[in-house]
A and B are shown apart, each in its own frame.
Chain A
Amino acid sequence: MTTLTLGRASIPAKYLPVLVTGCLFVAMFMVGGIRYEGFATGQIILNVFIDNAFLLVMAVGMTFVILTGGIDLSVGSVVALSTMISASLMAGPGWPPYLVVPLVLAIGSGLGLVMGYIVHAFDIQPFIVTLAGMFLARGLCYTIGTDSIPIEDPTFTAFAQTRIDLFADMWISPSVIIALVVVAVAAYVLRYTRFGRSVYATGGSEQSALLMGLPVGRTKITVYTISGFCSALGGVLLSFYMLSGYGLHAVGMELDVIAAVVIGGTLLTGGSGFLLGTVLGVLVLGLIQTIISFEGTLSSWWTKIFIGLLLFVFILLQRLFSARSRR
């Protein structure tokens, strides 16, 4: 195996992209700490987790899909649909949260299952199938209602306002714990289970995986189901965060999620990448937003230009590092 020697320790080349992203994250944090007063605290990082818990959950699902060489464009719309369904069911018929949340998760998984089945059974490109799924979910949102619906359910508001105190005045929200549990479970599944290894094998080479007798079809359908489930869960977390359901929530979020996964070093062609990288990718995106809000005077369009530039720098650096290590 190709290794890069750093002093006495040597790192397998496959970990390199994750390592690069990690280093860049630390570097960004240090630059922020030097530039702005009150930036270099643990709470800043925890805030990134709190503000991006739903993004993290979505990115976990997307990582599964991208690892098989697919893509899921429907995640943003499924998030919006989840907030819309939960808000309208609780506001209108007054359903209790313990019924609403499982229902929403089931709907999200169901959508993913159908998309996965179409991708697998009819050989249609994932890009197109999930694009149709995106239109469908967004369309269902508008069919439910075109206005924002506030969530006043006590359980949801309690979830939104609970602060879990850690040491030294630092705190996190329950959403962060849910997100971290999802990450941990997903990391275990990918690394240590038969299904996780089939995901990598399918992404590496579908033909070979098929010839090895791996259940390629089942794997593909499952990853889209997982992505649908994660998006629905992300939607529930977003409705904790926003306390409203709206058809225009999370517009364009799918691109943020894909960007996070790619920044984390997962190849879009599939077969290579780690969940830790995805977590770092989400953190980097969140930190960019934090830095821009610390800067204060930047207009919203500078945010976009800045994110574009950083995306470019990240990808270029990764490209350079991985090109060098391959030699």
Chain B
Amino acid sequence: MRRLLWPVVVLVLLLALNVFFTPSFFSIEVKDGHLYGSLIDILRFGAPLILVSLGMTLVIATGGIDLSVGSVVAISGALACLQISQDTSVFTAVVSALVLCVVLGAWNGFLVAAVGIQPIIATLILMVAGRGLAQLITGGQIITINSPAYKVIGGGYWLTVPFGILIVIAVLAITAFLTRRLALGMLLESVGGNAEASRLAGIRARGIVIMVYAFAALCAGVAGLMISSNVSSADGNNAGLWIELDAILAVVIGGTSLSGGRFSLSGTVLGALIIQTLTTTIYSIGVPPETTLLFKALVVTAVCLIQSPSFRAKAFGRRGRTAPPSPAPEEKVRVTA
């Protein structure tokens, strides 16, 4: 768990900064049978990002990357809202939106695994075209709906807890079970480590890759439903814009390497929480809105630097000034007779 140390430190620092500026930051109260408080808000507004990042983690674990999640977020919200505005039942609307997302994800996976296109390019196609598709669905307008049942997904409560948080917990639990209790996680990591070797070892690398991209799109789809339900409208242009970058950032902050081969779900959740807390912090300590991106850039740089072993070696001088130029050489274990 040592690699989760730095993300935890950063998160604690950010929270401490908040408490310093707003002493009532940690207070959580129950109003009208709902939980209220800044921490709950961070979880609630961070829920879509956590979901997207979870999907992204698995994709990155196989050595891929998915740039299209932002567009998928927009498409799923757009399709669901369009159907609800045409008096389809909420259930049908939600299911059909999610099915479309899975199909789009499988398409990504097909391009990567079967056609052999580099993941960043394969998903770039859907990123560009998908944004257009979302606008096509909404007709370039913002679709506004009034459906209490749909509103529950992103803005509702169940047993005093915001529904979005429950969805995240459920998805996280299922993902953790599938990847850490079953062999699936290990298969994912082996595909990410070396796809060809895994295939020769009898792992169906192709099927696993397609499944992972479909899962990432499904997560993005649920996130899209949450975002659009929270504001009761669908905006094909701006929904989920640049969420893929935040998600990739969350995954990397959480200690998952972009080169694939291993992943950390809890790290990703931490990473997403850091990003969301950062956004909240920016508002609560009164950083002017013009400089929010600047602030974000500085924190991201700091987090990434402090996680880099060679930076720590240079900055704190543990290994002296001759840090090796090649990536992290393995420590040799000396055996004394």
A binding-site residues for B, Cβ under 8 Å? 71, 73, 118, 121-125, 127-129, 131-133, 135-136, 138-140, 142-143, 146, 207, 210, 216-217, 255, 258-259, 262, 267-269, 299-309, 311-312, 315-316, 319, 323
Residue numbers in A under 8 Å from B310 (CB-CB): 121-123
Q: B126 near A308 (CB under 8 angstroms)?
A: yes
Q: Given A300-B135, A304-B135: A315 and B125 within 8 A (CB)?
A: yes
B127 within 8 A of A: yes
> A169 to nearest B CB, angstroms?
35
| A267, B120: Cα distance in complex, Å | 11
A-B contact pairs, 21 of them (CB 8 A): A71-B120, A73-B245, A118-B305, A122-B314, A123-B309, A125-B257, A127-B65, A128-B300, A131-B248, A132-B304, A136-B298, A139-B293, A143-B294, A207-B326, A210-B326, A259-B128, A268-B120, A301-B133, A311-B128, A311-B129, A315-B125
At the interface, is chain B mostly helix, strand, loop or mixed? helix
Are A319 and B117 touching (Cβ within 8 A)? yes
Name which of B236, B245, B293, B305 has the most chain A CB atoms within 10 A of its CB.
B293
Cα-based distance from A135 to B311 in the complex (angstroms)? 21
Q: Find out whether the CB atom of A301 lies under 8 angstroms from the CB atom of B140.
A: yes
Q: Are A128 and B304 in contact (CB under 8 A)?
A: yes
Task: Report yes or no: B290 in contact with A125, Cβ–Cβ below 8 A.
Answer: no
Q: Which secondary structure dominates chain A's binding surface?
A: helix
B305/A124 in contact, CB under 8 A: yes
A71 to B257, CA, bound (A): 16
Beta-carbon nearest neighbor of A77 in chain B: B293
In the complex, the 3 A-B pairs of residues with the closest C-beta atoms, listed nearest first: A308-B129, A304-B132, A139-B293
B321 smallest CB distance to A (angstroms): 12
Q: Nearest chain-B residue to A129 (Cβ)?
A: B304
Write out the residue numbers on chain B whose beta carbons fall within 8 Å of the beta carbon of A128.
248-249, 252, 258, 300, 304
B46 interfacial contact with A, CB 8 Å:
no
B258 & A139 in contact (Cβ 8 Å cutoff)? no
Shortest Cβ distance from B261 into chain A, in angstroms?
Answer: 14
Tell whether, in the assembled complex, residue B248 and residue A315 are in contact, meaning their CB atoms are under 8 Å apart: no
B295 in contact (CB, < 8 A): yes
Contact (Cβ within 8 A) B300 A123? no
Q: Which of A217, A306, A312, A319 contacts B325 (CB 8 A)?
A: A217
Within the assembled complex, what's the spacing in Å between the Cα atoms of A268 and B121? 9
How many contacting A-B pairs (Cβ < 8 A)? 143
Closest to B126 in A: A308
**Contact present for B304 and A303 (CB under 8 Å):** no
Cβ-neighbour of A135 out of B289, B296, B305 (below 8 A): B296
A132 contacts B300, C-beta separation under 8 Å: yes
Tell me which residues across on chain A come within 8 A of B27, comparing CB atoms.
none
B291 adjacent to chain A (CB < 8 Å): yes
Does B308 make an interface contact (CB < 8 A)? yes
Which residues of chain A are within 8 angstroms of B115 by Cβ–Cβ distance? 316, 319
Could you tell me if A135 and B293 are in contact, using CB atoms closer than 8 angstroms?
Answer: yes
Asked if A142 contacts B291 (CB within 8 A), the reply is yes
Q: Which residues of B contact A301 (CB under 8 A)?
A: 131-133, 135-136, 140, 236
Q: Given A139-B291, A139-B295, A142-B293, is A121 in contact with B314 using a C-beta cutoff of 8 Å?
A: yes
| Residue B88 interfacial (CB < 8 Å) | no
A122-B314, A139-B294 provided; 18 other pairs, C-beta below 8 A? A124-B304, A128-B258, A132-B297, A135-B296, A139-B293, A142-B289, A142-B294, A210-B326, A255-B124, A255-B127, A301-B131, A301-B136, A304-B128, A304-B132, A305-B129, A308-B130, A308-B132, A312-B125
A contact residues around B1 at 8 Å (CB): none
- Complex contact B129–A309 (CB within 8 A): yes
Q: Which residues of B contact A139 (CB under 8 A)?
A: 291-297
Number of B interface residues, CB 8 Å? 53
B window 60-78: CB within 8 A of A: 65
A232 to B297, alpha carbons, bound, how many Å?
Answer: 19
**Which residues of the partner chain B approach A267 to less than 8 Å between Cβ atoms?**
118
Q: A252 CB to closest chain B CB, in angstroms?
A: 9
Q: Given A131-B248, A305-B129: A123 and B328 within 8 A (CB)? A: yes
Q: What chain A residues lie within 8 Å of B126 (beta carbons)?
A: 308
Q: Which residues of A contact B111 (CB under 8 A)?
A: 312
Interface residue? B286 (CB, 8 A)? no
Return the chain B residue nearest A307 by Cβ. B128
Q: How far is the CA of A83 from the CA of B31 in the complex (A)?
A: 50
**Chain A hits for B257, CB < 8 A:** 125
B297-337 residues with Cβ-Cβ distance < 8 A to A are: 297-298, 300-301, 304-305, 308-311, 314, 325-328
CB distance from B258 to the nearest CB of A (A): 5
> Are B125 and A136 in contact, with the CB atoms below 8 A?
no
Kindly state the separation between the CA atoms of A135 and B290 in the bound complex, as whole angstroms: 12
Q: How distant is the Cα of A299 from the Cα of B111 in the complex, in angstroms? A: 27
Q: Please indicate the chain A residues that have their CB under 8 angstroms from the CB of B23 in the complex.
A: none
By beta carbon, the residue of chain B nearest A138 is: B293
Enumerate chain B residues within 8 angstroms of A311, measured Cβ to Cβ.
Answer: 121, 124-125, 128-129
Known: A124-B305, A124-B308. A303 touches B127 (CB 8 A): no
B135 to chain A: which residues have CB within 8 Å?
299-301, 304
Q: Would you call A269 and B118 a contact (CB within 8 A)? A: yes
Please encode chain B, from 245 to 260, with 1 for each CB lying within 8 Å of some chain A CB and 0 for all others.
Answer: 1001100100001110
Hey, which chain A residues are within 8 Å of B296, CB to CB?
135, 139
In angstroms, Cα B156 to Cα A268, docked, is 44
Please report the C-alpha to C-alpha distance between residue A118 and residue B315 in the assembled complex, in whole angstroms.
Answer: 13
- Look across to chain B and name the residue whose beta carbon is closest to the beta carbon of A145: B290
Chain A residues positioned under 8 Å from B120 (CB to CB): 71, 258, 268
Q: Is B202 an interface residue (CB 8 A)?
A: no
Chain B residues with CB under 8 Å of A118's CB are: 301, 305
Residues of A close to B301: CB separation below 8 A:
118, 129, 132, 136
Enumerate chain A residues within 8 angstroms of B249, measured Cβ to Cβ: 128, 131
A255 to B121: give the CA distance in the assembly, Å.
10
Q: Do the beta carbons of B131 and A304 come within 8 Å of each other?
A: yes
A20 to chain B, nearest CB (A): 15
Give the nearest-CB partner of B133 in chain A: A305
Contact B128 A255 (CB under 8 A): yes
Provide the bound-state CA to CA distance between A245 and B298, in Å: 24
